Amino acid sequence: MSLFNVAKFGGTSVANFEAMSRCAAIIENNPNTKLVVSSACSGVTNLLVELANGVVCEQERTKIIEKLADIHQAILAKLESATESAVEVQKILDTVTRLAEAASIQESTKLTDHLVACGELMSTHLLAQVMRERGINTVRFDIRQVLRTDNSFGKAEPDVEQTALLAHEKLIPLCQEFVVVTQGFIGSDEQGNTTTLGRGGSDYSAALIAEAVKAEGLEIWTDVPGIYTTDPRIAEKASPIPEISFSEASEMANFGAKILHPSTLVPALRHDIPVFVGSSKEPEKGGTWIRHQVQSSPLFRALALRCNQTMVTLRSAKMFHAYGFLAKVFEILAKHKVSVDLITTSEISVSLTLDQTDTAGGAPELPAAARQELEELCTVEIEQNLCLVALIGNNMSESRGYAKKVFGTLEDLNLRMLCFGASPHNLCFLVHESVARHAIQKLHQELFEV
Ligand code: ADP
Ligand code: ASP
Ligand code: MG
């Protein structure tokens, strides 16, 4: 049993009964699909995050739990045989109630993960039943038995070896008999605590599971027919890309294209698993193939936008012609576990952006203790409300003339922290969030709509 396909369905793809039925049709259509990875129903994780943040007023909590119940109840109401699924969903809602109350007294990242995992635990009961009722021989599987992670709650790191071992023991035998439906986004640590891979993590789960079972293909079904030249919600004329390389798509995901969780392509690349991205609403429209080898490598491939950036600028006259300054800065950052994303330097200053660590996607903060230590060395300036614009392409560091076009197009904007030339695949810069969409729209018009 080595040739099979893993299909992942995102939140909008499993938003209601009709959407779940479309997923079932897609699954039926590919007899190689033996494993289905599902997100929570659309909107559910946001409600669970709200509860996990601690809703003190009991009435408010009840309102949110009722909303959760309604979303799942609407699907249960359309099933032919709902009794068993209804019991299971109710058990999970009872857990949500209990954990939400605990979170209102004292939040913890461990509790948050247990609570937000409940969305995927519920949706998979329903999707499995929808599939059974269409005659697909389906079993639901709790992925926490297989997807082993460390205990960094909120952004857990997978243990790839352990996951592969457990998948061989527990998951692959099931796939020989059934189409297995399981949860994206969640896993468990060695002690059996529930963990999550970070918001949008179901894509990453699907790729990790595909790697663990040595799948021959991975399909990511979402609400758009493939990866576009930029987010179609920002630029109306964005167009789908039929084929894209792993490195280009990884750059897009890393630079914030929400269509794929940033880590998704790491396992797929490790095992050279081709990835397809398509729309579960309009599967007939085709989609994007992400492959190792592609037919064309255009200079400009796509534009990505990542908001909620925090820029830290460190200034010191001592930096001028001195050595060891940057080493000290990074020693302090490493000591306080601050992960740096982009960096630019000049004679007496260095600017850097902080990596996103917040599960809820807010702007990352420089810890007060790190700031204090840095201030003994230099002045520290922090700016927020910034967005990172990235132009992704090929052989960019060897091409001439295009920077003039890019900067000429945006000459009326204040561009910050230009990163250009270090990678052949991208050029990126920060802009104030109030002009970020405008920057993407103008660049798209100039570089992709001609
Ligand atoms: P899912 O719930 O299926 O995981 P997401 O909302 O996480 O779906 O991702 C799909 C969304 O990603 C699209 O609706 C689109 O707005 C956004 N997106 C951002 N960049 C791109 C891009 N380059 N191509 C297509 N969609 C993109
Ligand atoms: N349900 C999770 C979220 O909303 C994971 C996912 O959908 O990928 O972030
Ligand atoms: Mg997503």
**202 Cβ neighbours under 8 A, 6+ residues apart:** 8, 10, 37, 38, 39, 120, 183, 184, 185, 261
Task: Give residue ranges with CB within 6 A of ligand 1.
Answer: 10-13, 39, 200, 222-224, 227-228, 230-233, 257-259, 302
Q: State residue 359's pLDDT score.
A: 56
CATH number for 5-222 (one of 1.20.190.20, 3.40.30.10, 3.40.1160.10, 1.10.8.420): it is 3.40.1160.10
**How confident is the model over 226-241, as a mean pLDDT?**
97
Q: Which residues pair with 312 in a beta bridge?
A: 352, 382
Q: State residue 112's pLDDT score.
A: 97
Ordered by start, the domain boundaries in the chain are 5-222, 301-448
Distance 290 CA to ligand 2 centre (A): 21
Among 2-11, 124-133, 280-289, the range scoring the smallest mean pLDDT is 2-11
Specify the ligand 1 atom closest to the Cα of 13: 3
Report the percentage of the chain scoring pLDDT > 90.
86
CATH number for 301-448 (one of 3.30.2130.10, 3.30.450.40, 1.10.10.60, 3.90.1150.10): it is 3.30.2130.10
Distance 270 CA to ligand 2 centre (A): 23
Rounded to whole angstroms, the Cα distance separating 255 from 389 reads 8
Give the residue, out of 14, 39, 123, with the most ligand 2 atoms within 8 A of its beta carbon, to mutate for a pocket test.
Answer: 39
Q: CB burial class (10 A; 0-12, 13-18, 19+) of residue 9?
A: buried
Distance 359 CA to ligand 2 centre (A): 10
Specify the ligand 2 atom closest to the Cα of 199: 9
Which residue numbers belong to the known binding site for ATP?
A: 8-11, 222-223, 228, 233
Rounded to whole angstroms, the Cα distance separating 235 from 237 reads 5
Rounded to whole angstroms, the Cα distance separating 348 from 315 reads 6
Task: Give residue ranges with CB within 6 A of ligand 2.
Answer: 10-11, 39-40, 45, 119, 184-185, 199-202
Give the residue, out of 42, 199, 209, 277, with the most ligand 2 atoms within 8 A of its beta carbon, to mutate for a pocket test.
Answer: 199
CA-based nearest residue to 302, from 211, 434, 392: 392
Which residue numbers belong to the known binding site?
A: 8-11, 45, 120, 222-223, 228, 233
Enter the tokens of residue 295.
Answer: 């037919």
Is the pLDDT confidence value at 360 over 80?
no
Distance 39 CA to ligand 1 centre (A): 14
Is the pLDDT confidence value at 210 over 80?
yes
Distance 52 CA to ligand 3 centre (A): 20
Q: State residue 320's pLDDT score.
A: 65
Distance 10 CA to ligand 3 centre (A): 6
Q: CB burial class (10 A; 0-12, 13-18, 19+) of residue 95?
A: middle
**pLDDT tens, 40-88?**
999 999 999 999 999 999 999 999 999 999 999 999 999 999 999 999 9
Q: State residue 111's pLDDT score.
A: 97
Q: State residue 403's pLDDT score.
A: 85
Rounded to whole angstroms, the Cα distance separating 440 from 235 reads 7
Model's pTM, two decimal places? 0.94
Which residue numbers belong to the known binding site for substrate?
A: 45, 120
Q: State residue 343's pLDDT score.
A: 92
Rounded to whole angstroms, the Cα distance separating 150 from 159 reads 7
**pLDDT tens, 321-337?**
677 888 899 999 999 98
Q: In what order do the strands lie in the sheet with 426-432?
A: 340-345, 349-354, 300-315, 379-393, 426-432, 416-420
**pLDDT tens, 255-281?**
988 999 999 999 999 999 999 999 999
Confidence of residue 1 (pLDDT cuts 50, 70, 90): very low
The two domains 5-222 and 301-448 share their CATH topology (first three levels equal): no
